[in-house]
Every structure is written in structure tokens, then in C-alpha cells.
Amino acid sequence: MREQLQRLLQERVEFYTSDDLERSERKLHLKKELMRNRAAEIVRVNAAGKVHSKRKEDSDTVLTYHVHLQYLLKQEDSFYIEEEMEEREARFRNGYIVDERELIPSFETEEAPPKCDPGAERLAYKYDRMKAVQYAERWWNEFNPAYHKFTDDCTNYISQCLHAGGIPMWGAPNKSKGWWIRGKSWSYTWTTAHSLYHLLRAGNAIRTKQVGSAKELNLGDILCIDFEGDGRFDHNLIVTAKDQDGVPLVNAHTMNSRHRYWTYEDSTRYTPNIVYKFFVILDGR
């Protein structure tokens, strides 16, 4: 079974750098289309898989495994590396693979209340962008054991990055107020993408400036994404690098990724109705 998975993974890797191979997986085509739109090229892909669970379902054997993908990208005269993690599932019957697919994680497992107090008070802090980025780089594919681990971890991760940059917590123990985490208790704004979006938009306790384009963001700034364009924001990203054109590359959790192009056009969650909001993080005063 492992040999079949290795062959399948190698075929996926070869697809990225070849014009001759055909694959039905939508995500692979989205990735290549995004590269064409950016006038960029995937030079090489490294992939490493690790099985982490095995179960029986009737006569089938189902393996769940993680894949760490590293893309060496070329854009004009510059090279950089993008990384992402996938969780995948393969089904075997009579020793042969009959189905294999990526497991797409769900977003926003915790419902926020209708109203969440964004906090009107001013906090005194100096935002250290490089410390926030260093934290984002250190933990992009791991969970800091000092914090509770969430299945949908995107906003928890972004909050940790902002806190590492010097922004203090406040509001505990009221879940609907402030921005904080203590053991197994936390505010909605710390863990829920839509609530953090409202906190950043308010720009009070965490001082922000909302700008109109991704190019106006610097390292350590935040993007919020509403995939369906339905008014509820699903995902948050932190800028950790820029490409040849000065456009942000971002880190994120839930679908763990590093130096990913900010538009997420290569995501299976992408829709034509997607909405982005861009926040420059300012010093408190």
C-alpha cells in the first residue's frame, strides 16, 4: 500500500513541472493557473508523506496521511520557496487503491455570538513586526504547546503572532469582550475569524489602518478572507514575505502554509465571490 501511495505522490509532483501529464484533481490545475497569472514558474516540487492512521471499513483499509509540499518557484530573476501541508486519505480494496483524496478542513467550528465587544479602550504597545513574523515562521507547521490546540486553528495562530509582536491580551474572563486566551478558555476574538475581523476593523484596542490593496501591506500585517462573499469572514493570514512584484506572501494555519500567494486562488475554497480585507497593524498609544 505504501508503494502505491509513493507512486501516486510522485505522479502529482511531476504534474506541477510538466505540460504533458493529465490529472483530474482540481487543486493541481488551480495551482498551475495561478502561476501562469503571476508570470511565475514551478521549477521543482519536493513532497514527503507520512501515514498517521490506519483503519478498517468493512473489507476496505483506509489510510490517512500528511504530505509536506515544498515548491521552488521562479519569478523573473528571483527564486523563493512556498510550503504547505495536506491531509489526505487513501482507500484500498483487495490490496489496490480505489480512492484517494485530500481532506479539506472545515473553518469556523465555534460560533461567535451575534455581538462581540471589540473594545473601545486604547492599549499601549509597540508592535514589533519582525517578532510577529519570526513567530509565524517558527510555528507555521507546528502547534506551540503553550497554547490550546484547535482543529480550526487559523485565528488562534494569527492571534499568537500578533501577541508575539507585543500586543497585550485584555478582557478575560469575558468570552465576548477583549482579546485573550487562558488555558482552556478564550475570547471569541482570539479564536474566531469573523470576530477577529471585527476587532481589527474597529481599530480601537488593536490599532489598525484598513487599506484598499494587498500591496499596501507590510510584513506582520493581516488579511481577512470571506471565501463565499456572504459577509462572514472565514480565514485570516499574516504577511511574512513579498514576491518579486512586492506582493504579499502569507502564512496560515488550518491548512498550514508558508509564503503562499495572498489571493488563495489555488485553494479549493476559492470562489468568484471572495472578499478580502487588508489591515495594517499600528502601534498602540
pLDDT higher than 80, residue 121: no
Q: Mean pLDDT, the chain, as a whole number?
A: 92
Q: Residue 12: its pLDDT value, please?
A: 86
pLDDT of residue 268 exceeding 90:
no
Pairing outcome for strands 235-242 and 248-252: antiparallel
CA distance 224 to 222: 7
The pLDDT of residue 136 is above 60: yes
241 with 254: CB under 8 angstroms? no
More confident residue, 121 or 150: 150
Residue 226 bridge partners (DSSP): 275
Whether 91 has a pLDDT exceeding 90, the answer reads yes
Confidence of residue 111 (pLDDT cuts 50, 70, 90): low
Q: Which of 51-65, 117-131, 137-151, 243-257 has the lowest mean pLDDT?
A: 117-131
CB 187 within 8 A of CB 176: yes
Distance between CA atoms of 263 and 44, rounded to whole angstroms?
22
pLDDT of residue 24: 63
- Mean pLDDT within 132-157: 96
Q: What is the pTM of this model?
A: 0.93
- Overall average pLDDT of the 222-243 stretch: 97
Average pLDDT, stretch 156-176?
96
So what's the pLDDT on residue 28?
A: 87
For residues 156-177, average pLDDT: 96
pLDDT of the residue at 21: 55
| 203-221: average pLDDT | 97
Q: Which CATH number fits domain 129-281: 3.90.1720, 1.10.3470, 3.10.540, 3.40.50?
A: 3.90.1720
Query: What integer pLDDT is reported at residue 15 of this predicted model?
Result: 87
Q: What is the pLDDT of residue 220?
A: 98
Q: In this predicted structure, what is the pLDDT of residue 120?
A: 59
Q: Is residue 264 scored above 70 in pLDDT?
A: yes
**pLDDT value of position 98:** 95
DSSP 114: S
User: Rounded to the nearest 10 degrees, what angle do helices 154-164 and 129-138 cross at?
Assistant: 140
Dist. CA 189–CA 268, nearest whole Å: 26
> Residue 115 and residue 198: Cα distance in Å, rounded?
10
3-state DSSP: the chain helix, strand, coil percent, rounded to 5? 25, 35, 40
Which pLDDT band holds residue 115 (cuts at 50, 70, 90)? low
Look at residue 216 in the predicted model and tell me its pLDDT: 98
| Arithmetic mean of pLDDT, 223-243 | 97
What is the mean predicted confidence (pLDDT) over 160-185? 96
Domain ranges of the chain: 2-102, 129-281
pLDDT at 118: 63
Confidence of residue 36 (pLDDT cuts 50, 70, 90): very high
